[in-house]
């Protein structure tokens, strides 16, 4: 990804100069990417190339040009790479008559485990995703959220260092979603390379600050959300402050060089536009204290992933 990997840490996934064509359509165009340990969010609108990228990494497709390496191996030509890779596909790809436990056990056995060990691993993985009470249930009787958890369990049952999750939270209830987000974060903290493809931005943001944004088959941005937002210097930050005398605070702040505008929204709300969020965050408490004001609430409505996505994907034009 952006920058060099950490010293001594081998990147889990390396995509170099990869182009994938479907007929005359370029699904991916000259993609270069290095993903190491931790959780990375793969973002982009429908048809942007996310699924193609995951299929290339999981060895289901061969790139037309360039190379894909997973743990140093070619996933297309060397099936042994799948010992270290767990894939949770987007669709519900199950044998409906199987129970969750037998489904995960059967797939885990294909990694070379014996029947007993595969069953133990399957049970542990299902327990980990919160399916302990439902592992004996047939898949056809499972809710969408349960299927989703079962899919994740089969992806992690063999304890892979690289995990690919395609829309892992689809259909899960709020509590289940929180549990799965915590699980994904934990997988990342354990040093696994976890790639999460999703449309739900706030869920990705809850899992990671590292993102890869794809649009029209090309990389739009890669890296830390906050640093990427800071790179968009043609898109000043909006910063909202709730304070007793907004007009006085506006007068004090508008003279600062990085503050482009100050708008008093209502009797207690001030909205500032700045090109340097960090500098504003340093100046704001100082000026408020000088005026004897207490800040009731503050925040930047466009410093989050959603704003970044809006700027880079929905209304592209900024630098990458």
Partner 1 sequence: MKDQVYGVGYRRLPEGRSARWAPWPIARTALTLAWRKRSTKLGVGLCGLSVFGHGMALAAQVLAERFIDTGMGGASRAAETVVHGVIGDVHTTLANFIGVQMIATAFLLAMVAAGLIAEDRRTGAMELYFSRPLTRRDYLLGKLLAAGLVPAATLVLPFVGLWLFAAGMAPPGAVGPMLGLLLPGLLGATIAAVLLTATILGCSALGERGRTVGVIYVVGLLVLTSLGGELPASGHRWAGYLSPPRNVQTIVDAALDAGSSGLLLQVLSSRPEANPSVLLATLCVLGLSALGLGLLLWRVRKEVAG
From CA 103, how far away is CA 115, in angstroms rounded? 12
Least distance to partner 1 from the beta carbon of 283, Å?
A: 25
Sheet holding 85-88, edge to edge: 85-88, 162-166, 193-197, 38-43, 210-215, 218-224
Is 191 a binder of partner 1 (CB under 8 A)? Answer: yes
Q: Which is nearer to partner 1, 36 or 176 (CB)?
A: 36
Q: Which is nearer to partner 1, 3 or 257 (CB)?
A: 3
Q: Which is nearer to partner 1, 58 or 284 (CB)?
A: 58
Which of 112, 136, 299, 316 forms a contact with partner 1 (CB under 8 A)? Answer: 112
What Å distances lie between residue 252 and 108, 237, 268, 269, 270, CA to CA? 64, 18, 16, 15, 12
Contact of 88 with 155, CB cutoff 8 Å: yes
Stated as kind and residue range, the H or E segment containing 154 is: helix 144-156
CA torsion sign, 118 to 123 to 124 to 129? Answer: positive
From CA 284, how far away is CA 246, in angstroms rounded? 12
Burial class (CB in 10 A: 0-12, 13-18, 19+), 292: exposed
Give, as ranges, the residues between 146 and 175 that touch partner 1 (CB under 8 A).
154, 159, 161
Q: Which is nearer to partner 1, 37 or 44 (CB)?
A: 37
Q: Which is nearer to partner 1, 63 or 145 (CB)?
A: 63
Q: Which is nearer to partner 1, 186 or 296 (CB)?
A: 186
Residues contacting partner 1: total by CB under 8 A = 64
Least distance to partner 1 from the beta carbon of 277, Å?
A: 17
Is 8 a binder of partner 1 (CB under 8 A)? Answer: yes
Is 94 a binder of partner 1 (CB under 8 A)? Answer: yes
What residue ranges bind partner 1 (CB under 8 A)?
A: 1-6, 8-12, 35-38, 40, 58-62, 71-73, 75-77, 79-87, 89, 91, 93-95, 97-98, 102, 106-107, 109-114, 154, 159, 161, 189-193, 209-210, 223-224
């Amino acid at each position: 990804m952006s920058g060099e990997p950490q010293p001594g840490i081998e990147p889990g996934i390396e995509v170099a100069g990869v182009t994938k064509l479907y007929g005359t359509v370029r699904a991916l165009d000259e993609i270069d990417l290095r993903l190491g340990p931790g959780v990375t969010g793969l973002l982009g609108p429908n048809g942007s190339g996310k699924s193609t990228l995951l299929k290339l990494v999981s060895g289901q497709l061969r790139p037309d040009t360039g190379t894909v390496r997973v743990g140093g191996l070619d996933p297309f030509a060397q099936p042994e790479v799948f010992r270290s890779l767990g894939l949770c596909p987007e669709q519900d790809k199950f044998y409906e008559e199987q129970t969750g436990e037998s489904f995960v056990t059967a797939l885990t056995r294909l990694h070379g485990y014996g029947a007993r060990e595969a069953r133990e691993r399957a049970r542990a993985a299902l327990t980990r995703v919160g399916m302990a009470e439902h592992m004996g249930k047939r898949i056809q009787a499972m809710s969408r959220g349960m299927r989703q958890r079962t899919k994740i369990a089969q992806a992690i049952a063999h304890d892979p260092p690289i995990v690919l999750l395609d829309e892992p939270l689809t259909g899960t209830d709020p509590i289940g979603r929180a549990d799965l987000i915590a699980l994904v974060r934990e997988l990342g903290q354990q040093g696994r390379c976890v790639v999460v493809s999703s449309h739900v931005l706030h869920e990705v943001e809850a899992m990671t600050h590292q993102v890869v944004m794809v649009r029209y088959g090309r990389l739009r941005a890669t890296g830390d959300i906050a640093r990427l937002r800071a790179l968009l210097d043609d898109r000043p930050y909006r910063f909202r402050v709730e304070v007793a005398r907004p007009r006085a605070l506006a007068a004090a702040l508008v003279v600062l060089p990085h503050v482009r505008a100050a708008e008093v929204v209502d009797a207690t709300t001030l909205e500032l536009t700045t090109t340097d969020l960090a500098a504003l965050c340093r100046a704001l408490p100082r000026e408020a204290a000088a005026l004897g004001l207490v800040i009731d609430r503050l925040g930047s409505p466009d410093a989050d992933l959603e704003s970044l996505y809006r700027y880079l994907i929905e209304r592209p034009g900024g630098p990458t």
